[in-house]
Amino acid sequence: MLLSGLLLVLFAAVVIADPTVHFREDFLDGDAWESRWVESTHKSDYGKFKLTAGKFYGDAEKDKGVQTSQDARFYAISSSFEPFSNEGKTLVIQFTVKHEQKIDCGGGYVKIFPADLNQKEMHGDSQYYIMFGPDICGYSTKKDDELTHLYTLILRPDQTYEVKIDNEKVESGSLEEDWDFLPPKKIKDPSAKKPEDWDDKAKIDDPADTKPEDWDKPENVPDPEAKKPEDWDEDMDGEWEPPMIPNPEYKVKSGTIFDNFLITDDEKFAEEVGKETWGVTKGPEKKMREKQEEEERKQREEEEKKKKDEEKEEEEDDDDDDTGDDDDEVEETTETDIPEKDEL
């Protein structure tokens, strides 16, 4: 009887500790993800996602996620799960993001919406419960480099929260103290009316202000190193324009990859999932990226050397041409100065 009772207690403990997974998406079944995710049609110019592991990865299959594929676009895609309540329970939201395009400005966040969301009409102003993830503007020392990083938000029943990056705590606090959940004590008088002589223009445009030189940052700009060909004929060929190259200051770049989505009620389970996914592939991914960077460095050095050699050859050719012109002048002068035999 004692042994049987012990087994019963252990079994009960296992059942109680079993985590609840409300949503999980690892994109491991190829294009089948498209049947689970809905692209919003609220705006016709939303960007498209594609399934890929990117230019570098730790595992060609396990690291596949959905990637933004078009520059200067907003993206709106969603996947549904069964409605649930986290009252009295912990809520954990976790996913990975990789900005392999050296992002300067863009959002890598996700939102948790109400169950009645019209997914086809989802847009930036749609009501949501939670928004979480890296929102980047400016390439800094934070976890917004080109490698994959794991982002975790933990909301606890005692109204506290914790944020983890790569399974390490980076922020924590009180929800009620750090965010405004209650309505404000005072609101604007809805019956108040604007006086007839009220001037709404508290400020006006500065007539002396000018647009900053770096205000316009198009995707492509004229190549500053390009030179007009010597044989260019504007009458025949038209006005010469330098070729366009990618603008190094262009900020809104696509290429972000989302993967390993998880919504659960168990902190430890989320941590283990992070170790089994991102934790396993992060090392090989970094090595692959470092190898690519070394190859890119060597290629740049070879191109720079080739360019310098070509410039040196051009300078030598110009010097040879100048020397040849001088010889012609000497020969002509010599022939002119020597008198003919009949004149002696």
- The pLDDT value given to residue 319: 66
Domain interval for residue 266: 18-180+250-282
Alpha-carbon distance 24 to 89, whole Å?
18
Residue 108 falls within a domain, yes or no?
Answer: yes
Residue 190: pLDDT band with limits 50, 70, 90: confident
Average pLDDT, rounded, for the chain: 83
Residue 104 falls within a domain, yes or no?
Answer: yes
Both tokens of 168, joined, read 């390490």
- The pLDDT value given to residue 185: 76
Residue 103: CATH number of its domain: 2.60.120.200
Alpha-carbon distance 330 to 183, whole Å?
95
Alpha-carbon distance 296 to 290, whole Å?
10
- The pLDDT value given to residue 133: 93
Does the pLDDT value for residue 214 go beyond 60? no
Residue 204 falls within a domain, yes or no?
Answer: no
Q: Could you count the other beta carbons within 10 Å of the beta carbon of residue 32?
A: 10
Report the chain's terminal Cα–Cα distance, integer Å. 144
Least confident interval from 21-35, 60-74, 262-276: 60-74
Q: Indicate the number of domains in the chain.
A: 1
Residue 186 falls within a domain, yes or no?
Answer: no
Residue 334: pLDDT band with limits 50, 70, 90: very low
| Burial classification of residue 141, based on how many CB atoms lie within 10 Å of its CB (0-12 exposed, 13-18 middle, 19 or more buried) | exposed
Residue 145 falls within a domain, yes or no?
Answer: yes
How much is the average pLDDT of 228-251? 76
Does the pLDDT value for residue 333 go beyond 70? no
- The pLDDT value given to residue 219: 59
Residue 291 falls within a domain, yes or no?
Answer: no
Residue 324 falls within a domain, yes or no?
Answer: no
How much is the average pLDDT of 68-89? 92
Residue 216: pLDDT band with limits 50, 70, 90: low
* pLDDT tens figures, 138-187: 544 445 478 999 999 999 999 999 999 999 999 999 999 998 877 777 88
* pLDDT tens figures, 28-47: 999 999 999 999 999 998 99
- The pLDDT value given to residue 250: 53
Residue 226: pLDDT band with limits 50, 70, 90: confident
Residue 5 falls within a domain, yes or no?
Answer: no
Could you say which DSSP state residue 191 is in? T
